[in-house]
Every structure is written in structure tokens, then in C-alpha cells.
Structure 1
């Protein structure tokens, strides 16, 4: 492949030639004649996009005319669970009017409810330990009453929910739960949604695992107070993570109802789905201390926590071809505290099965990676020859193929994590990873490197390039030097040079699909 080193000033001209370019023909549109036909299609999982548009238009017309007519009642009366799932996933206002069973119970004893979960010896021993250390000896005011909600009790609940989340990640015995888990989770969410955002999000993550594991729980969730809450959250969640979690819950419910053929596991989020059958899958992988809900957003401010997520809000409009977008999410740290820390290889092992469960690899796939995310993508492709075979392109955004000089600071300042050690310029494992990936990289048609050229604020008054040119440039493919700093190079403005590179990269990938 020809190699290009492109200056920043030249990129907008390239981008302007492609912006909003339409490839191929628009998808076929099914003409739906009446409410009965729309409901039938939803119930039978046919022409879902067109049926949703019809039903939502009926609802909109009813609202505009202030008329609660028979069409609306007829729709609600004939909906099956999977049809309700599709409506919830679309954020339909009709979900606010579907009769549901009450979940709210202000007298629920959380501690006693958790004790009724019977998920094996490991669960029971862990729960016993958490309960035993709930109140520190020096905290004489610490009460065992859940209603008091002292910090020690909140922390105990947080640990219990983390344990429940980890337990429900994998297959577990549904019949062993001796508590009505759907209203249980609803009550936890309502208790903490205004005060403890991490607990409310953890509750949503558990719900996504539970409804994805069994048809019974999917139906129960869609017939409960969760329905209006989740359907509203899909479009109007308070932040990006809340909206992504609401979408995941709907998708996993549809998966267990056999309405879609894939499932979203703990670390993977679906950022966008098209109306038509997707031609390719895009996988986003963030870097050290990033997240799926932060890395791919515009630069944030305290006043605006709903800043644009460019893969979700721009790409589907600027490239009018059907594709899915997924984001991997994983915790990472700079300072090593107690306990084992995950390695690059252990994360790759974990992600491998989750990508498979999401159906990634069945069609052409491309990766967009920031910083250490590019190293994870390389490990994933090395570990899975089949995935590598179906990979059309990889976009490395400020990826430290040969380490970062900033990582070496950690040895003299604090106890670094495995991640920081791996990013050291002299790390032999990273060198081997780069050598091994270089050996297979020729089978990937399109590889692009984006290089930061603006110094970042480091420690104190120190400034520097986090991933210098010699490390950020991969041995193969085009190279673009971007006038931005490390953390912002993956947060482009819509008319920026970096966004132009992304658009051109995607269009090149679609061309490659056409050639194949």
C-alpha cells in the first residue's frame, strides 16, 4: 500500500469532497396501510423500522390532536413482549401509556433481599464477608438499619451490587434467585438515582445482564415500571452512559426473546444501529483512563454533560451507509493500589468472547482506537485469526506502538500499574506485540495513523508530547499529523482535520468492501 504523510492543512479539502456522500441505494421501504398491519409486523419481527415509524406517527398524531382514540388502545391491546421491546428501544412515547405492574416498595429491606440470592458458595462467603465488615469499629454511630443510609451501609450496598454484577456476567442458575429481582433492582435504582450515580448505573448494568440471561426476566421487565423509565432513558437519559445502558437493556431483552441474534455483554455497548442490514461493524476502543462515555465526546464543560458523541451523533448522518458502532469499556488506572490489576492480555481474552456474542466478526469490521486502545486492538487481532481476516481497517489515534516517554515518569513518582509499565518505551512485551502485529498487518487493507503535534499539560508546569511521532506512526499505511494534544485528538470538531481523517478512513473501508 502507498504511504502518505499528510499535513493538517490539506485534510479539510479531502473531507469536503466526501462529506455527506451517499453510496448505494436507500433501503426498501415497506408501505404499511393500517395499525393492525404495523402491530403484526412488530409482533412477528418483520419490517420493524417501518412499523415503528407508523406506530409512533399514530401516537404523535393522537397527542397533537389531544385525542386518545381507539387506534392507540388497539395498538396497546395487541402488542406482544418483543413488540414492546422494539418500542422501548426506539424511545416511543407509547411506552408511557402501556399498563404495567408496580415495582416501587418503600419498605423493602435491601439487606434481607440480598441474602435471599443463592448463587453458590462463592456468593454466600463473599456476602458474609461484606456484611461482617460493614461498620468500622471506630464508627459508633453506624447502625445496621438500612433505612438510616449511613456511609458504611451505602458502601456495603455498593459492594454487594458489584458482586451481583460480576456474578450475573456469566451464566447463572436463574431458579436459585429467591427474590423478585426486577422490582428489587427498580427499588435500588429509584433510591439512589438522584444521589449516587455509580450505584444507579450499576443497577442498570445488572438489569442488562439479568434480562439478557432469561426470557422470563425480559417479559417481567417489559411488564413493569421499568418500561416507561427505560424507554424514556433511551433518548432522554441524563448522560451518555445512561442512554447507552438503556439501549443495552432493550437489546438484551430482545435477545433473550429471540428477536435479535446477538447479546451485549458487560464491557460492550452499542453506540449506533442502522435501520437497514449493516454492511460493516465499527469497534471503538478507548485508552488509559478513558471510557466509552467520555473518550468519544466533544470537549466537556461542567455546565454541559451531554456534549456531542461524534460516532453516535455525526457519523450516521455524514456517511449514509448502514453500519453498527460498538464501544468497548474497561477500567484502567495509573497508580497500583491493592489487589490484582488486569493486563493487556487478560482484557483481550475477556473482550474476545464479548465481541463474538455481539456478532462482531460475521461481517467486515474496522477498529477506531485511541492511545492504549490501539494496543488492545492489536492483541485482539493477533489472538483471533478469523477476526483479523474480516478486519477491513484499523485507525490508530495517538497509539504508542513503541511506548510513551511519559510512562517512565511513573517509576520515580508512584507505584505504576501494569498498564503504565506496558507503555514504557523499553517494555519488551509491547515491542513483541508490535513485531507480531507487524507480521500480520499486511492482510489488513487499510491502516491509518493519526499523530498528535501539540504538547499536553503533564505534572505541575511540565508539558510534553505524550505519544511522539516515532511511536505513533505504525510501519504501514497513511500518516496524518494533527494539530491537537493527546486527550483531544479523539474529540474532533465536525469541520476539523481529525474528523476529516476519520471520514476518509471510513469511506476507504467501504470502497474496500465494494472491491471484495
Structure 2
């Protein structure tokens, strides 16, 4: 505030203003210029300055000083004042600000909460509506009784036509699904009159790459083409080497059954389908349609149908081919086969559908890895795995069948009993432990090189080679991600020990060993077998295979394998249960021997139980109430107790 040439009245008014802080800004400075020298209020200003520290100046310039100079003095006074003295606002003003701010914040929170609750309710209602629409067709068909069967079939066809390929695969893997949910396979084009299925298979094999492929693939392709050529020669009435159309009896001598030719060709396709580079070519050459044609024509041959589905399962490992497999009509055939009473047929279909179902499955089951349980989609959580590995001359299914009995007490054959099963892990174990995934492994074995399917396989039958091969397949199937119990028969037990030792050395497979909870050994020759020793003694007659030579009693490699495994088993505190046979086994009609003596079946670690059965039946319980099955089931439950109790 500036007072220039003021009298005492003005100065008094300024004094009153300074005494009312609510009307006076906190940073007020008062400058009085050319006031009367005898003005009484000036003394009061001096007193206020002393008491309150207020900033003001009273300047009495010379009467001769020009007005411009007074103005300049005023300006300098403004710029050279002392530091501001802050005067804090009154509590009344702070309370007003707080009330306004609090009201705004409270209103904003209430509005935001209301919007969130409203949005949540809206989303819930929409989700329920989506679920109702999703299941509307199923509920509609299930709850309404149609008097007209044609109308009901029409409803199923409508649903089948509306399904995309992923939905169709999921429905096919639903237990108890009605097969009318699937469209029938498309009509296959009629082939040429002179073009049989053998010719088409031959053309398909000839179109596949033959260079830079596995030796066994080449061998099986050559074998199939050779058999096909002999069949063609027979159909033309004579051997080509005699110029064709030879004597009538030549045809009968050189004829090759068409089923045998198809079997050779399909076996070659199995090996080609293991190579992802050949899968695209098989599909591009209309191999899916050809396989479907043979599948429908060979309804009487379970073996041919099984081989075809095995090829489809291999093709399903390629995600890019799923659309083609669905469009060719294979889903309805696989869904039907999955309901088959034949466990082997159904398990092949389950493997193919599992490889197709990428929405519910992350694992992929390569050739030789079969899922026995669960074979359908299920909301039940799988807590652990049980893996079955057969031995010499065994298989993924027949090794684990119920014990064969010619005659039972009531006079009926064992196969006619209602509770007989062709695979007890699939039937009994899955029912007693539904939270377990049950897998079975299959690989080719031979007693003699005379029976080898492929000459190149002779060098691939060692435990070391098979271990590496199976470990890759088991890793793709997710084995090792969950707690695991191994069940092995005969040579399969040696393979289990080798795989665990190899897993211990591979950082990527450490979880396989760490998650192993226990192992069941059924007559495993930890220290060798008399049968292998017998085969080697007559090696010039039998030509024993590589796997048989590795089972010789007292073999240094077996001794080293056993010692290394015992070290790992003790370190990891693995639970081990061993069963030993006590009865001799018939080898042919002339030889009878204990294949694996009790001393060889004794690992030297864990529990050993002697059972009065022979080598073939040591892994085949008589029934579900037999000691062999009950003790095995108890061991599995005890080894996985912590996982199953969750």
C-alpha cells in the first residue's frame, strides 16, 4: 500500500486496516510518502512495527524534491524490502477446504463403487446367457421326447453341421457321446476298374521320398513294393520273368493274398508317418481317403484296422494336418472305435484323438506310447502317472492281460468270464485309482535275428539305444512332470533302470528322476537270465538278438548297471517292490526252465516277494482279488500317498 501526500485521517484509516488481518493480505507492505511530520498515527505505526514485525516505511522527503524522484524512491523501496513473513490461514478456512475436498472424494468413491458393482452384475448375466446358449442344443435334445425319429435325427445332424473341427474333436473325446453328433464320412470316389487298393497303396508309397530316410523306412518300402509286384504278377496269370500269362498252375504258385500285400504296405506307411516330412505328402496324395477306404473294406481284420488307426495317430502329431483329418471324416470313425469292446482297438483310437485334441491336451503321444486312462475328457484332476513297460517278446497290451486259464471251476473258459480283462491296468487300476494317468509303452523285441523285421534294427536293440529313444517319447508325453511309478516286466525293468540313470545325467530330464516315487519289478533279471545263456550256447542255430546277449548271466554290463542304479535309488530313497517267479516256464514243447531265478530277481534293495507262478504269468493276476494285484495296488497307493490324499 502506498500513501502519498496523505494527511492524518488517511494514516488513521491505514492503521485500522492493519489491525484487521481478515481484510489485510499477509504480505502487505505500507509506504507513506510526504505525510505530515507531526501526524500522531506515525508513532502508532512504529509501535506496531516493533510489536508485530510488520514491514512499512515512513519517508519524509525534502520539499524541494521533484515528484519523479519520489516515484523512483518508491520503486526502489518495493524491490529492496526485507523477507516476507508468512501468516498462516485461519483454521476456519482450512475446515472449509477440508469439507469441500471430503465431499468431492466421498462422492467420487460412491460413484466408482456403483459403476463397478453394476458392471460386475452385467458381466455375470452375460456369462450365464452365453453358457445357456452353449448348452442349449444338448439340453434341448436330451429333455424333449420326439415322437418322430426323423425329427430327432435331423436335430442331431443340425448340431453336427454347426460344429467346427475343434468342437467335433472335443465331443468325440466325451464319454458316452451319441454318435449321431458326427457327420458320416464323405462318400469316397469310385476308383478305376483296373486300380485296386494294392495298386493305390503302391502308387502312394512310390510317391513318398526315398532318399535321406531311415534305413528301416527304405527296407519296409522295398518289401511292400516287392510283395505288391508279386501280387500283380499273380493277377496277370504268371510270373513276369516267364513273360506273363504263363501256365495256369503258375498263378496259384505265385499268388499273394491281397491282405498280406496291404499289411506290408501299411507297415511301410507306419514308418513313413513317423517322419513329419512325409506326413504332408501322404495327405496331399489323398492318403487319408485311401486309408479310410481300406478301413471300411477290412471290417473283418482288426489287425489292418489297428494299423491304419496307428498311422492316423502318427499323422495327428502334425498340428497343420488336423483340419484335413477332420474334413476327411475320420472323427466319426475314431469316436466309434473308441467305444469298441476291444481294448487294443479303443486305445489306438484314444491315442489318435488325444493327439488331435490340442484344446485339452498339451502332451503328444508318439508311436508306441498308449494312454490307457483317462481316454476321455474329464474334469477330474490327474495327480500322478503310472507307466507300464513290457519285456522281451512282450507288448503294450497282451503282457498286462489277466492270467489265462483254460478251465475254471464252473467249467467256463476264462475268456467267457464276465470280469475277464485283456488289460488289467486299463480295467482294474483305472477304476481303483481314477486320479492316475496310466500309460503303456511298446517296442519291438526278438529272441533271434532270424525274426528281426528290419536288418538295421539289429544295431538298435541295445539298452542304451532304446533308453534314449524312449526318453524322447516319454518327455513329449509329459512323463516326469508329475509324480511317477514305474511297473516293468522282465527286460523292461533293465530298461527302466537305464532310463533313470540316463535321466540323472541329462539336465532336461532331471524331473523324470526326481518325480519317480517307486518301481515295481516283475521277474526282472538284474543279474542275468538262464534263457539268454541257453540261447547264446546255441547261437549258431538261433542267432540270438542283441537284447538277448545283454541278458547273459554274470554280464559285466548288467553288474555295472545294477550297481549304478542302487546308488541312485538309495540317494533318492526310491521305493522298490520286486516279485520273483518260482515255477518253471515252458519254452516250446521240449524245454522247461526258470527264466529268471529268484537270486537274479533280487535287486538287493527294497522288498522281494516270491510268487508261485511262471515267468509269463508273474505280471498277470488271476483276478482282481488275487494277492498279486492287491499287493501291486497297495504299493502304488503307498508310493503316491501324499499326492492321492490331496
TM-score (norm 1): 0.79
Give 1 or 2: higher helix fraction. 2
- 1:180 is aligned to 2:283: no
CA 56–375 in structure 1, closer or farther in 2 if over 3 Å, else same: farther
Kept in 1: contact 2:483–2:640 (CA 8 A)? no
Residues 295 and 128 from structure 1, CA distance in 2 versus in 1: closer, same or farther, beyond 3 angstroms? closer
Tell me how far apart the structure 2 counterparts of residues 456 and 57 of structure 1 sit (CA, whole Å).
60
Shift in Å, 1:366 = 1.1
Deviation at 1:406? Answer: 2.1
Aligned to 2:449, what secondary structure does the other structure show?
coil
Match of 1:383 among 499, 502, 505: 502
Alignment partners' CA distance in 2, 1:63 and 1:240: 35
Hey, what does 2:390 align to over in structure 1? Answer: 286
Partner of 1:400: 525
Cα gap change, 1:64 to 1:459, in 2 (>3 Å): farther
Tell me the equivalent position of 2:481: 362
Alignment pair present for 1:121 and 2:211: yes
In structure 2, which of residues 592, 608, 613 is the aligned counterpart of residue 484 of structure 1?
A: 613
Aligned in 2, Cα 1:125/1:495: closer, same or farther, shift over 3 Å?
A: closer
Equivalent position of 2:438 in the other structure: 325
Aligned pair 1:235/2:339, yes or no? yes
Q: Residue 399 of structure 2 aligns to a residue in which SS?
A: coil
Structure 1 residue 179, shift from structure 2 partner:
1.1
Q: What are the superposed Cα offsets for residues 107-130 of structure 1, whole Å, 9 maximum, x if unpaired?
A: 264434405744352569765775
Shift of 1:175: 4.5
Q: 1:418 aligned to 2:546?
A: yes
Q: Match of 1:167?
A: 272
- The answer to whether the aligner puts 1:85 opposite 2:169 as a matched pair is yes
Show the counterpart of 1:499.
Answer: 629
Rg: which structure is higher? 2
Q: Please tell me the root mean square deviation across aligned C-alpha atoms, in Å.
A: 3.6
Q: Deviations over 1:307-363 (max 9, x none)?
A: 34211111122235x110100001111122262422222211111111011111111
CA 1:136/1:346 → structure 2, altered by over 3 Å: closer, same or farther? same
CA drift at 1:476 = 1.4
Q: Distance in 2 between matches of 1:398 and 1:228?
A: 42
Deviations 1:5-25 (A, max 9, x none): xxxxxxxxxxxxxxxxxxxxx
CA contact (8 A) 1:92 1:231 kept: no
Cα deviation digits, residues 235-260 of structure 1 (max 9, x gap) = 215x32211101011111113xx441
- Counterpart in the other structure of 2:569: 441
* Structure 2 gap segments, 5+ residues each: 1-126, 246-251, 407-412, 505-509
Q: 1:189 aligns with which of 295, 311, 314?
A: 295
Aligned length: 465
Contact 1:62 1:69 in 2 (8 A): no
Partner of 1:96 in structure 2?
180
SS of 2:634's partner is helix
CA distances 1:180-206 after superposition (whole Å, capped 9, x unpaired) = 2221211122233424x4333221111
Mapped pair 1:248 → 2:341: no
Distance 1:154 1:367 in 2: 38
Matched, 1:466 2:556: no
Aligned partner of 2:104 in structure 1 is none
Aligned mates of 2:517, 2:385 — CA distance in 1:
10
- Asked if structure 1 preserves the Cα contact closer than 8 Å seen for 2:185 and 2:330, the reply is no
Question: Any unmatched runs of 5+ in structure 1?
Answer: 1-32, 42-50
